[in-house]
Amino acid sequence: MQARFTLAITVIFFLAAAGCSSSKSTDPEGTVAALSSTPTDYPSVLEAQGYKVIDSITTGSDTGYLSENADGKRCIVLKGSPYNMGYQFGRLLPEST
């Protein structure tokens, strides 16, 4: 059960870092921040992909973001421990919990 949860969170993180696209990449220039140990300015990354941050929540030292593009497609970025990510998800998308 723990492995499935960890896998689901990892998939969500990769989708968020890749511009929340489930189809062909819209980032041929590689403007999406690479996954690394350096801090990422997620609002800037989201804006570069055409998303506008509509809400955010900070739990401890980690901030989660909810953004939306012009077509109404949503992207959620969750960061931190499993508890913090679950809390961020519940606060950012209460209608989905």
Which two structure tokens, joined as six digits, stand for 31? 């403007």
pLDDT at 58 over 70: yes
Q: Structural domain boundaries of the chain?
A: 2-20+40-96
Calculate the alpha carbon distances from 79 to 21, 35, 58 in Å. 18, 13, 9
Span 20-43, average pLDDT: 57
Span 11-18, average pLDDT: 58
DSSP 84: H
0.85 exceeded by pTM? no
